[in-house]
Structure 1
Amino acid sequence: MAFVLRRLCRLLLSLAVVVTASFGMMHLIPGDPVRAALGPTASPELIEARRATLGLDLPLHEQFWNYLTGLFRGELGVSIATGERVSDIVGERLPATLELAFAAVPLTLLLAVPLGMWLAARTENGRRRGTELVFTTVSGFVLALPEFLVAIGLVVVFSVTLGVLPPAGRGDPSTYVLPVAALVLGPAALITRLIRLETLRVLGEEYVRVARAKRLAPARLYLRHVLPNTLTATLTIAGLLLAGLIAGSVIVENVFAWPGVGSRVVQAIVSKDYPVAQGIVLLYGAVVLVVNIGVDVLLGLADPRSQIRRH
Structure 2
Amino acid sequence: MSVMQHWHRETDSPQTGAASSEESKDTSAAREHPATVWWGFALRRAGRTVGSLFVIVSVAFVVVRLSAGDPVRQALGPTAPPSLVAERRVQLGLDHSLWRQYTDYLAGLLHGDLGTSVLTGQPVADVVAGRLPQSLLLAACAVVVTLLVAIPVGLTTAVLTREGRNRGLELGFNGASGLTTAVPEFLLATGLVIVFGLWWPVLPVAGSDTTASYVLPVIALAAPSSALIARVARVEGLKVLGRDYMRTARSKRLPTTTLYLRHALPNMLTAVLTLAGTVAAGMVAATALVEQVFNWPGLGYALIQAITGRDYNIVGGIALVYAALIILINLFVDILLALLDRRTTLLER
Tell me the TM-score range normalised by the shorter chain: over 0.9
User: Partner residue of 2:34?
Assistant: none
The question of 1:25 aligning with 2:63 is answered yes
Instruction: Tell me the distance in 2 between the aligned counterparts of 1:268 and 1:62.
Output: 25
User: Partner residue of 1:213?
Assistant: 251
1:122 to 143, 160, 180: 160
Instruction: Tell me the distance in 1 between the aligned counterparts of 2:61 and 2:304.
Output: 16
TM-score, with length taken from structure 2: 0.86
Please show how residues 184-263 of structure 1 align to structure 2 within 5 Å. Answer: 184-263=222-301
Instruction: Tell me the distance in 2 between the aligned counterparts of 1:38 and 1:19.
Output: 25
Contact preservation (8 Å) 1:19, 1:282: yes
Q: Give the counterpart letter for 2:195 in structure 1.
A: V
Q: Which stretch of the first structure deviates more once superposed, 238-247 or 93-102? A: 238-247
What residue ranges of structure 1 are gaps of 5+ in the alignment? none
Please show how residues 134-149 of structure 1 align to structure 2 within 5 Å. Answer: 134-149=172-187
Deviations 1:27-59 (A, max 9, x none): 343233222333333211221121112111222
The question of 1:272 aligning with 2:315 is answered no
SS state of the match for residue 310, structure 1? coil
2:146 to 101, 105, 108: 108
SS state of the match for residue 272, structure 1? coil
Contact preservation (8 Å) 1:104, 1:183: yes
The question of 1:167 aligning with 2:191 is answered no
1:97 to 127, 135, 140: 135
Distance apart, 1:60 and its partner CA: 2.1
Q: Which stretch of the first structure deviates more once superposed, 216-225 or 38-47? A: 38-47
Distance apart, 1:242 and its partner CA: 2.4
Q: Give the counterpart letter for 2:199 in structure 1.
A: T
SS state of the match for residue 58, structure 1? coil
Q: Which has the higher contact order (CA 8 A, sep 6+)?
A: 1
Q: Give the counterpart letter for 1:161 in structure 2.
A: W
User: Partner residue of 2:342?
Assistant: 304
RMSD over aligned Cα atoms: 1.4
Q: Which stretch of the first structure deviates more once superposed, 239-248 or 13-22? A: 239-248
Q: Which stretch of the first structure deviates more once superposed, 299-308 or 278-287? A: 299-308
Distance apart, 1:62 and its partner CA: 1.9
What residue ranges of structure 2 are gaps of 5+ in the alignment? 1-38
Distance apart, 1:116 and its partner CA: 0.5
Q: Which stretch of the first structure deviates more once superposed, 31-40 or 12-21? A: 31-40
User: Partner residue of 1:65?
Assistant: 103
User: Partner residue of 2:332?
Assistant: 294
1:81 to 97, 116, 119: 119
User: Partner residue of 1:151?
Assistant: 189
Contact preservation (8 Å) 1:32, 1:272: no
Distance apart, 1:274 and its partner CA: 2.3
Deviations 1:142-183 (A, max 9, x none): 111122111111111122111111221121112111111100
Q: Which stretch of the first structure deviates more once superposed, 82-91 or 60-69? A: 60-69
Q: Give the counterpart letter for 1:15 in structure 2.
A: L
Distance apart, 1:270 and its partner CA: 2.7
SS state of the match for residue 347, structure 2? helix
User: Partner residue of 1:7?
Assistant: 45
SS state of the match for residue 138, structure 2? helix
Q: Give the counterpart letter for 2:192 in structure 1.
A: L
Please show how residues 46-57 of structure 1 align to structure 2 within 5 Å. Answer: 46-57=84-95
> What is the percentage of aligned positions where both structures have the same residue?
50
User: Partner residue of 1:36?
Assistant: 74
TM-score, with length taken from structure 1: 0.96
Distance apart, 1:261 and its partner CA: 0.6
Contact preservation (8 Å) 1:232, 1:299: yes
Instruction: Tell me the distance in 1 between the aligned counterparts of 2:285 and 2:131.
Output: 14
Instruction: Tell me the distance in 2 between the aligned counterparts of 1:275 and 1:195.
Output: 41
Instruction: Tell me the distance in 2 between the aligned counterparts of 1:151 and 1:194.
Output: 24
